Amino acid sequence: MTTDGLEGVVVADTQLSDVDGERGRLVIRGHDVESLALAHDFEALCALLWTGALPSAAEHAELRARLGRARMRAFERLPRLGDALDGADGMEGLRASLAHLRASEIDARDVHAELTGAVAVFAAAWARVRRGVAPLAPDPALGHAADYLRMASARGTDPARSRALDAYLVTAADHGMNASTFTARVVASTDSDPVSAVVAGVGALKGPRHGGAPGPVLAMLDAIGSPERAAGWLAAELAAGRRIMGMGHRVYRVRDPRAAVLERAVERLRAAGLRSDRLDLARAVEAVAVASLGERRPERRLAANVEFYTAVILDAIGLAQEQFSPTFAVARVAGWLAHIDEQARGGRLIRPSSRYVGPAPETPVAA
């Protein structure tokens, strides 16, 4: 019997994260995502994923410096990327840029920082090239989130927006056996190299059923425009057979806990004086979408997923719609790298089977 989409199939034992779809809980190495996202930055989360523990102040400073140096090295590689940064969309640009990295030139003692730094620098450089301006050099003294925002956003950075991006990066860094993590683990299981595994992860993350959803969520909010138009707009989409972006999840049967974390982070931004006109609209659209989807399919509960409020928060901090998926990769690469390690340490070659349903051979099986 085949398990369509491998739903519910357990393919690995992991120490990294646990997704409880019935209760709406995400635990990363023993910590609830809520407690991590609002109190820790991306460096702390990387340390937690890569070493198993939140860092001491000294360890945190050391990792921050390592990521800063890695961003510098990635920036020095930009002239070698040729037209890779001309990719039609950010994920294409990121995939092509990362593919230029030679596994042999990545400092083997610091693969994690090297690749995490490269994803941030290449994603930011793509956005600059797209706007017709030269990429900005990293500032290695800054935290990873602040520096990415400084390099990537047309509006630069400030502490409140950097904190919001940290909350997003922490929230999005790891999430059980999602499609891109599984992809990266499959590549790692063949004893391939981490660059190849990360490039493969980017390929899987690109699709709108995975990391490609937040851009379309923003487009949807803009198309709806005001809460009273939500019901009619959503009904027309569903009648046309289209999915509502940012709704539904393979594992969660309740609201994705990450949606709540990001919603709170946007509220914090507003408290710091930053406007986010789209938060109220998003809340209103979410309520109508949940009700409409519930009426259509009462037995399959569809609620908001992380991408719904990703669109709101990344827009509020000044990133353009086409930067949303690459920014997801800036976060998720930390999780991929932890999973690649875990797979390399103990996992067997991932090689499932398929059931042949094609034509029977012309010659019957010999008796």
- The reply to whether 249 belongs to the active site is yes
Round to whole Å and give the CA distance between 196 and 209.
Answer: 22
Q: Taking a C-beta distance cutoff of 8 angstroms, is the pair 12, 347 a contact?
A: yes
Catalytic residue among 43, 114, 307, 342: 307
138 class by beta-carbon count within 10 Å (0-12 exposed, 13-18 middle, 19+ buried)? buried
62 class by beta-carbon count within 10 Å (0-12 exposed, 13-18 middle, 19+ buried)? middle
Catalytic residue among 249, 263, 339, 342: 249
Round to whole Å and give the CA distance between 194 and 203.
Answer: 14
CB of 122 to ligand COA, least distance (A): 23
Measured from the CB atom, is 90 or 347 closer to ligand COA? Answer: 90
Q: Does the footprint of ligand COA cover residue 301 (CB under 6 A)?
A: no
Sign of CA dihedral 301, 302, 304, 306: positive
Q: Does the footprint of ligand COA cover residue 306 (CB under 6 A)?
A: yes
Q: Does the footprint of ligand COA cover residue 250 (CB under 6 A)?
A: yes
181 residue type, one letter? T
Query: CB under 6 A: which stretch of 41-49, 196-204, 241-249, 359-367 binds ligand COA?
Result: 241-249
Q: Does the footprint of ligand COA cover residue 253 (CB under 6 A)?
A: no
Q: Does the footprint of ligand COA cover residue 8 (CB under 6 A)?
A: no
Measured from the CB atom, is 117 or 216 closer to ligand COA? Answer: 216
Round to whole Å and give the CA distance between 62 and 48.
Answer: 14
Measured from the CB atom, is 50 or 309 closer to ligand COA? Answer: 309
Length reported for the chain? 367
Query: CB under 6 A: which stretch of 40-48, 123-131, 205-213, 356-364 binds ligand COA?
Result: 205-213
- The reply to whether 175 belongs to the active site is no
Query: Helix %, strand %, coil % for the chain, to 5?
Result: 60, 5, 35
Q: Pick the binder of ligand COA from 47, 247, 261, 317 (CB under 6 A).
A: 247
Q: Does the footprint of ligand COA cover residue 243 (CB under 6 A)?
A: yes
Measured from the CB atom, is 78 or 217 closer to ligand COA? Answer: 217
Is residue 196 helix, strand or coil?
A: helix
31 strand-pairing partners: 28
CA distances from 204 to 180, 211, 309, 325 (A): 5, 8, 21, 11
Measured from the CB atom, is 91 or 142 closer to ligand COA? Answer: 91
Q: Pick the binder of ligand COA from 144, 249, 278, 339 (CB under 6 A).
A: 249
Q: Taking a C-beta distance cutoff of 8 angstroms, is the pair 281, 146 a contact?
A: no
Measured from the CB atom, is 150 or 175 closer to ligand COA? Answer: 175
Q: Does the footprint of ligand COA cover residue 248 (CB under 6 A)?
A: yes
Query: CB under 6 A: which stretch of 13-21, 74-82, 164-172, 297-305 binds ligand COA?
Result: 297-305
Question: Interface with ligand COA by CB under 6 A: which residues?
Answer: 5, 208-209, 213, 243-250, 293, 297, 300, 302, 305-307
- Name the residues annotated as catalytic: 249, 307
